[in-house]
Amino acid sequence: MKTIDSLGELRGKRVLVRSDFNVPLDGTTITDDGRIQAALPTLRRLVDAGARVVVTAHLGRPKGEPNPDFSLAPVAARLGELLGQDVALAADVTGPSAQEKVAALADGQVALLENVRFDARETSKVDAEREELAGELAALADAFVSDGFGVVHRKQASVYDVAKVLPAAAGDLVLKEVESLSRATTDPQRPYAVVLGGSKVSDKLGVIENLLTKADRLLIGGGMVFTFLAAQGHPVGTSLLEADQVDTVKGYLARAAESGVEIVLPTDIVAADSFAADAPHRTVPADQIPDGTMGLDIGPASGALFAARLADAKTIVWNGPMGVFEFDAFAAGTRAVAQGIVDATAAGAFSIVGGGDSAAAVRVLGFDEAGFSHISTGGGASLELLEGKELPGLAVLAD
């Protein structure tokens, strides 16, 4: 991929940067600024080079029209704090306010355009509509840097189309993400263990399909595990279950057995009477979940089992929590897996936390991010790379 160095001298040039600032908010308060922190190295590099930096990003799902609930104003304030300079926020995406803020930039200054998804053309399936918005974005800049790894799997105006109009390069974050994930997809050191969690098997079908030919071990937890347990004929009570995927999972179990890939499932489950932080709960055998109860975490024996199966791994990828870690009562399984990965990393493993809820869990549960080799900023993008897919936002940056 083309790098920032390929863009030549940047002093005085307007550089459009696509960042991923889709951060969680409580009202107007950012509850996890991890994605803003991850964007800083590229932005500081451009600022130090004297570029006039124009950042475009999205937040939430505003459905193609302005919505104050999804304004990037909190992001502009936090970014300014971290950069140590005022970050001007345009009131629109490419309109008069955006043009005014960009025109007022001096060398080394930063402006943030309002939420790009306030414009329906950003995510349009019609090429001409996306290209029109890309043209308007390109008119604000002399070069483009793609640094929003969390969106490079999307064929969107500010990710894909604008890179075809302006001199374009991958930012430092995107390069780091691709390099790290490539270590898990191209000749990984073995044993190669993958921990999959989260709510749905269907979200990870392509990943499981691909990993059955590459990984040595798949450790399955989270809501998706109940489809695996059901495929083995076990009762799952009222736990999350994708009944239409049971036959698919049976096929995975059979293929794993044939190919020698170890699938590690929980031996015990924390079952609750309802989905609530204070719901009555108890630990039960994984194959004996009582009627009327739902599994909300893997049990303590399973946490110890998973950690043991990670201890000798040389490559580890983790995508998806083991339970409802946001509730203290159901966070122990995710904590045990995270600690197991930290311990394996300290012993020499290369570990990747695959973005999304897994990255949030690391921070919520108080782990030092330095204990993991790489924490991805893009859940969906990292999954698609693990599936072996070509990502449009990366392909368009090819040399």
| Cα dihedral sign, 354-358-364-367 | negative
Question: Which spans in 205-347 are helix H?
Answer: 205-211, 225-231, 246-259, 300-310, 332-346
Residue 106 has pLDDT above 90, yes or no: yes
Query: How high is the mean pLDDT of the chain?
Result: 95
Active site residue 200: yes
Annotated binding-site ranges for (2R)-3-phosphoglycerate: 35, 117, 154
Active site residue 356: yes
Alpha-carbon distances of 27 from 24, 30, 68, 74, 299, rounded to whole Å: 9, 8, 11, 10, 34
pLDDT 10s digits, 275-329: 999 999 999 999 999 999 999 999 999 999 999 999 999 999 999 999 999 999 9
Q: Which of the four pLDDT bands, split at 50, 70 and 90, describes residue 380? A: confident
Cα separation of 275 and 292, whole Å? 12
In the chain, CATH 3.40.50.1260 covers: 4-175, 187-386
Task: Please give the CATH topology (third level) of the domain spanning 4-175.
Answer: Rossmann fold (3.40.50)
DSSP state at residue 3: B
Active-site residue, selected from the candidate residues 221, 356, 379, 393: 356
Active-site residue, selected from the candidate residues 18, 35, 78, 101: 35
Q: Pick 207 or 250 by higher pLDDT.
A: 250
Active-site residue, selected from the candidate residues 95, 206, 380, 388: 380
Burial class (CB in 10 A: 0-12, 13-18, 19+), 183: middle
For 251-288, give the DSSP string: HHHHHHHHHT-EEE--SEEEEESSSSTT--EEEEETT-
Cα separation of 206 and 72, whole Å? 33
Query: For the residues 42-68, what does the mean pLDDT come to?
Result: 97
Task: Please give the CATH topology (third level) of the domain spanning 187-386.
Answer: Rossmann fold (3.40.50)
Percent of the chain with pLDDT over 90: 87
pLDDT 10s digits, 118-160: 999 999 999 999 999 999 999 999 999 999 999 999 999 999 9
Cα separation of 297 and 313, whole Å? 23
Active-site residue, selected from the candidate residues 44, 200, 314, 363: 200
Active site residue 380: yes
Active site residue 309: no
Q: Which of the four pLDDT bands, split at 50, 70 and 90, describes residue 355? A: low
294 DSSP β-pair partners = 272
196 DSSP β-pair partners = 220, 319
Structure tokens at 97: 């306010």
Query: For the residues 18-46, what does the mean pLDDT come to?
Result: 94
